[in-house]
Chain A
Amino acid sequence: MTYVNYVVGAYAAFAIVMLWDFIVPRLQIRRELRAARLRKTRAAKRAEPVELSR
């Protein structure tokens, strides 16, 4: 195979950018859902009656 380093380099660059494009939206979705879960937990804690004690 001729120019093998260039071919490998180009395909590696393609794979890296595509992988980034594949992973980033998944992480964003996971982060948003996690944030929504935490918000719900915080809201539920705030709604609990607070017992005062001495």
Chain B
Amino acid sequence: MNPVLLWFHQLGSPPIFDRFAARWAPWCYAVAFLLMGVGLWQAFQVPADYQQGDSFRIFYIHVPSAMMSMLVFGLMAAYAAIALIWRIKLCEILAMACAPVGAAFTVITLVTGSIWGKPMWGAWWDWDPRLTTELILLFLYLGVTGLYHAIDDRRAAARAAGLLAIVGVALLPVIKYSVVWWNSLHQGQTISLFGDSKMDPSMQLPFWLMFVAVQFWFAGSLLSRARADNLRRESGKDWVAKLAAKS
């Protein structure tokens, strides 16, 4: 068997995944902290925006978080679909571990957006399509987490919550294109991963640093949360008892 494929199959084993997560989560966090440190330092070095003044610096935490809120939901649905189709327990765990991290990014998006909106729009909140759909995304994350914890049987709970995640994916294009489809208060796309950005290149470096940093943060958080859930599910097994005795 191909060694990469073999490694991937072995990773489905709970004790091997536990070792993998315990080993790599701290490294992911370390890279995230480093990049975030540099990114945030850079965010306060670039000149203030000629219209928004310094409030534009909120952009460096708001936009990466907003992108992650959608990316994480997509990934959660993908894991949930794999878990439903191939009944891979690890994918159930990973899908359910995505929900609180994605909810955290969504909360950051909503709160920082609201704080930016007050001086720029004159209001903390508006029932604008982008804001409203992002709020619905938060409710979906909370729904997935709530449903997962409401059912005692872990596997049945993961299947039910996974189904909700898969259905919820329909919201992602609505969030993404809400600023195109409706002429609303929220500004259009400022920065693009693959196309032209409307932001001056001199202001982009902190954004890209923060964008990569939140990816590493997500990886660290996902591994840690999945490890905790894996330990909970395997609590009666020998390998957990041995691990607990060693720690």
Chain A residues with CB below 8 A from B40, complex form? 11
- CB atoms of A13 and B55 under 8 A apart: no
How far apart sit A40 and B224, CA to CA, in the bound complex (Å)? Answer: 24
Number of interface residues of A (CB under 8 A): 29
- CB atoms of A10 and B245 under 8 A apart: no
A1-52 CB contacts (< 8 Å) to partner B:
1-4, 6-7, 9-11, 13-14, 17-18, 20-22, 24-26, 28-29, 32-37, 39-40
Mask of B50-72 contacts with A, CB within 8 angstroms, 1/0: 00011101100110010000000
Q: Does more than half of chain B's interface fall in helix, strand or loop, or is it mixed?
A: helix
B123 located at the interface, meaning its Cβ lies under 8 Å from any Cβ of chain A in the complex: no
- CB atoms of A7 and B244 under 8 A apart: no
Minimal beta-carbon separation of B75 from chain A (angstroms): 16
- CB atoms of A14 and B112 under 8 A apart: yes
- CB atoms of B228 and A7 under 8 A apart: no
- CB atoms of B245 and A21 under 8 A apart: no
Closest to B246 in A: A33
- CB atoms of B112 and A39 under 8 A apart: no
With A7-B54, A13-B112, A21-B100 known to touch, is A40 a contact of B65 (CB < 8 Å)? no
Chain B residues with CB below 8 A from A17, complex form? 104, 107-108, 111
Chain B residues with CB below 8 A from A40, complex form? 241, 244-245
Closest to B21 in A: A29
Chain B residues with CB below 8 A from A37, complex form? 241, 244-245
B149 located at the interface, meaning its Cβ lies under 8 Å from any Cβ of chain A in the complex: no
- CB atoms of A14 and B61 under 8 A apart: yes
A-B pairs, 3 with minimum CB distance: A2-B53, A25-B224, A28-B228
